[in-house]
A and B are shown apart, each in its own frame.
Chain A
Amino acid sequence: MNIIKTQPKSITTDSTKYCPGCGHGIILRLIGEVVDELGIRERMILTAPVGCAVVLYDYIFCDVVECAHGRAPAVGTAIKRVHPDKFVLIYQGDGDLAAIGMAEIIHAANRGENMSVIFVNNATYGMTGGQMAPTTLIGQKTTTSPSGRTVKGMGKPIRVCELLATLEETKYLERTSINSVRNINKTKAAIRKVFQNQLNGIGFSMVEVLSMCPVGWKVPPIEAVQFIEEQMLNYFPLGVYKDTE
């Protein structure tokens, strides 16, 4: 009996703190697969955000820095400049990147920092129990938009890929999803592209991943997958929003 596929070597945990059906777990494995395939674990420096993924260092076997909420792009900027030969991966959630850290991600992108960003968009603040995030959909109920997000007073969800695409120094921007096997495979390809860009010195590359947060959305995992299919994909179309080819 030989093993065709099992947990990627650079993933060290046998059990994460993520909730059942949480998308972070899938993305974590995809990162592990790509890191193993590219053989970059030993030169990788990863920023952990404030949010559900804050204890990434318990899951990935590489150097990790835990950043203040929203500041990973600034921290990563400095690390990449101190160690231009190392691989810097910025991992952020939607509250981290698109709310408190919006200035940091825009300016890191605008400076064309040669780093890879994985932006997990699950339309809520998961760690703190499901509050409204900048990407929460109109009408979506959260603990801080109890009768559903309204445009009046709360604005519309922010489309980050489209926003950053206007910054000419961004080199690759793609939005994918992990709500189906096919989309997960496409997410892995996008992660590989965003990693490869950094290794080739192309510049700022980001993949925005629509991800499930069953506990935050207060639905079983199976319905969370449908929520992306039926709701999120309409407002957050998948696709490549910037590429150098």
Chain B
Amino acid sequence: MSSQTKDITRKENVVQAIIVADTFGDEFVPISDTIPHALLPVLNKPLIDYTLEFLSLGGIEETFLFCSNHVNLIKEHINKSIKNVEGWTLTMKVNIIISESCHSFGDCLRDLDAKGLLRGDFVLLEPGIISNVQLLSLLKKHGETTKFDKYASMTMILQEAGIGHIGRCPEEEIIIATNEQNRILFHKKMGKTKERKLEFPLDIFLENSEISLLHNLKDTHIAICSPSVLPLFSDNFDFQTKDDFIKGLLMNEEILEGTLYCHVLKGSQYGGAITNWRMYQALSYELQNKWIHPLSSPRKRNRLMKNSVIIGENTKIPESAHIERSVLGENVTVGQNTRVEHSFIFSDCKIADDVIISHSIIGPHCVLNEKSRITAGSILGQDTVIEKNLFVENTLVQSTKPDDFEEGDKLGAKSYRLRISGEEDDDLIVSSLSCKMSKMHIQEDNCESEDEIEGFSDSEEEELSYTHSPPPDDTKLFFTEVIDSLTRGFEDNLLCDNLILEINSSRYAYNVTVKEVNFNVIKAILTMSLRQPTGVQYFSHLSRLLSYFAPVLRNYIRNENAMVDSLQAIEDVATSNEDLKDKWVMFVLQYLYDKDYITEEVILSWFKTLESKSNFHSQVKPFTDWLEAAEEASSSEEESD
């Protein structure tokens, strides 16, 4: 069962690590039906190899590898590595522990506790970790922690990562509260809940003079544990995962006599775990971009092509194929005019001509016939054959008939739709999967502003989480600031002069141009009006608002340029708010014109610059028509102020 490599003489103080090799979930179906999670090829090298190399470089001398599925494959692989004298075999002993009765992370640890193999502090790895963390210094730090807190049972290793970063898994968003000693007082995994409100227990603020609330971290899934962790798992049979453990420990600190600490990685130290396909994609990219240096893709087996493409041995790409940001395994044949983007193709696949693959994963030995299209997070299991001209989108496909086979799931002789990610289902697991929309990151470059606003409204957290991220656009900030000032000014009935002063000071703070100031102030006033109910009183309310802000308007609409700016602001508001009343534009223009904020000439010349077919154009048209008609009648009145 256990395999010895080289005798490690020092039996005392051997640095030990535990790897739990199974996810016990169905994130990787259907690929995981044939390939164990640990042997998933990452840049054409089995995942477990990276983990073992990391442990070896990190200074670990003995590792317990826990497997419960595909045991023989893993065993075979480890034995092969030992035979080939892979780098890690020299400094580390690997024991494979087989436990087919285990059905969760917690079971594995209970099993280990029963075996009594661990002697001191140890490193606990969840499945799929790739990292370059120096473990010895962390173990030392944990040792120091245990000196002043004898109940310290676990140090979680966390890493700073900005919101929206590809390596930060949306399902694993966490918020923690720590005290000065980095002790975790509060821990919440945000990913699973949709709530945007958090309740922190008051005690933690009362008991500590200083608290840090951190939302800028990702879990590396590496933890340094005291020997007391295993008995804790044994005593509490409801601990199924590490999260259960953390939750349980924080809730019943006194009873369980265990405390949690955290350590935030600095500099070039990196940690991450492949827990789902998104993270698979993220870690593949980060490995490629050297974030996990010195771990890297095997040079011998891989070739790096342009457009960040990696291909394995005996794989050839024809001239006419367009491949971008993808990884191709060994012995893959690629047909003419094929497009492959952001995808992972495992070894021995056959891709015919004119196939399009994007954001998908193609399992080993698949055959894709002519003109098929595989897109948007599709996962193809081993040996799948895709028929000619077939279009597969966001679907899991496997080669054998699934148990819950239904009519319409059959895509071909050797391809069946796997219903787990299909239609909406009441089943809990299914719904949680489908809400992910896609199993891969798909072009998330352009949704910038959304996320920023979505974030967390609590200012502290926001600031903390953005500690090192670049400042958002100044003009945008300026705009929100202006809206805030004006809204408050209106509600509290403040003098407009004060508001002008405020706006001016924000203007200097954000260093925006006069043009932007004019534009944003008008836009802010108009946007404010939109917040009101759109009933009958809407226009009366709007005119009340405008007359209230008359001094502000007068201050900013001073010359013709400013008039044009304000007209543009109107256009901006009108076009970005679809549900405005038809007459809104008319009304605003009329108002500004009547009150002599904007002159006729400016309106007319601005009107000429508008696109004549646009919806907005037609909204303004009646007004300018009226202006032109009125021109003859009135001649002397139209002077500014």
Judge: A and B partners, yes or no: no
A residues neighboring B (CB under 8 Å): none
B residues contacting A by CB (< 8 A) are none
